[in-house]
Structure 1
């Protein structure tokens, strides 16, 4: 009885969470008056969305570039920083780590305008590189915390064995420790991708050229129609295009994601 109740509850929650996604997929294919798919079912809404504004290919390319740069930068900085915090002792170590975590206490929206001014001063205003740097900064607290705990979960005997075999610190880091913390790296990379792929507010404020907009801003622009008329079919198609890569990536990396939290990521 207890197992049946548990499975029933989990099934109900699964249906509850999946319903909006299923509804969006159904609405994007269903015919609606004034949409790209007037009657029946088909991909007319996706065809109209592909030609919206600068074109779907441009928006997808921008989102992909930002996500790749964000994930790469976050992984590099968090892996090196997490290794340093976990394995080395240096003056101000704990203070520096706490200062990094303090970024979490700063409201996200309140510093976007100062960042906009800063990016203008260093020549990265209206730039996908500048937007990626902002995303990397906001991912660092969680990423460093995750990677520090992941490295601390690896026995120090592995480092010592590598040193005995002739490895230097950097070689041991690359050849021994990074493979050992792969689940943590995947978890950090997945969170960085989801944050940069789905973020709307930062691109809206930091970018002012339609050709540089990522997909979330483009989908929002679909609601800004003449006389308030919204093509909901095209809008739902845009939502599905945004959601499908996240679903696929999470499904493929799910086992690493769970293992990353279980194998030392929650150690205090």
Structure 2
């Protein structure tokens, strides 16, 4: 037990050290410590502006909401109903994980153009939702399968339909799974770089990740590394806060969902 704790502490230090170093570098100035780097981050021409923050919030919100909606209904269907081709369809859904999404982004870019969603936050969110669904549906299917069927049967006897059972009874029971899916969807969409780079053309549609990366192409090649570290730290803060607040539900959802499969 003691050895496992030591190993866990060592791994935690190993993974947290780069973030801690970024936080330290973001407040380090030639005169000592201060917030000058964060001031340059939000005031320089290549820094983060309000629209970048808003765009990241919109994309993350749409991705989390869309992923939860589709994954909940899909997991409920796969976990509670029997229909022809159920296993084949589920395997086909999981097969998306084997496709490197970078290889089909150009095709998705063309498809979004046909749909009138090219260079839009909604189109970007739809792409991110699509690549979140295999893992999310897998998690939600296992979460629904872990619920005793007697709970659902008692609600059906009381006159509830399938949708009413889902909304009034089962959603509360699978809340840890919902938290896990939400957290993964948020972390992926908040820190995604490659998809916004390909799918967004207008600078006013850029997310914070693109804005931070653009700081590396400063005037005359002079990179403001302290401000860049401030951008990395600023983007990491919401992720850390969410993980700390939702840690207990996340662990419960991951254990009950992933290990059951």
Normalised to the residue count of structure 2, the TM-score between the two structures is 0.96
Structure 1: state its 5+ residue gaps.
33-38
Aligned to 1:10: 8
Are the equivalent residues in 2 in contact too, given 1:86–1:148 (CA < 8 A)? yes
| Counterpart-to-counterpart distance in 2, 1:218 and 1:193 | 18
Are the equivalent residues in 2 in contact too, given 1:147–1:265 (CA < 8 A)? no
* Residue pairs, 1:127-146, within 5 angstroms: 127-146=120-139
Q: Does residue 242 of structure 1 match 2:240?
A: no
Aligned to 1:49: 41
| Counterpart-to-counterpart distance in 2, 1:7 and 1:261 | 20
Q: In 2 relative to 1, CA 195–264 (structure 1 residues): closer, same or farther, beyond 3 Å? A: closer
Deviations 1:138-177 (A, max 9, x none): 0000000000010001011111100111211111110111
Aligned to 1:22: 20
Are the equivalent residues in 2 in contact too, given 1:127–1:207 (CA < 8 A)? yes
Aligned to 1:100: 93
CA RMSD across the alignment: 1.3
Q: Does residue 119 of structure 1 match 2:117?
A: no
2:51 aligned to 37, 40, 58, which one? 58
The alignment covers a number of residue pairs equal to 260
Query: By how many angstroms is 1:55 displaced?
Result: 4.5
| Counterpart-to-counterpart distance in 1, 2:259 and 2:49 | 40
SS in 1 for 2:170: helix
Deviations 1:207-247 (A, max 9, x none): 01111111111000000013321000110000001111000
Point out 4+ residue stretches in structure 1 off by more than 4 angstroms: none
| Counterpart-to-counterpart distance in 1, 2:252 and 2:8 | 21
Q: In 2 relative to 1, CA 163–8 (structure 1 residues): closer, same or farther, beyond 3 Å? A: closer
Deviations 1:73-110 (A, max 9, x none): 00000000110111111122111111111111111210
Are the equivalent residues in 2 in contact too, given 1:184–1:265 (CA < 8 A)? no
Q: In 2 relative to 1, CA 165–191 (structure 1 residues): closer, same or farther, beyond 3 Å? A: same
Are the equivalent residues in 1 in contact too, given 2:48–2:212 (CA < 8 A)? no
Q: In 2 relative to 1, CA 120–264 (structure 1 residues): closer, same or farther, beyond 3 Å? A: closer
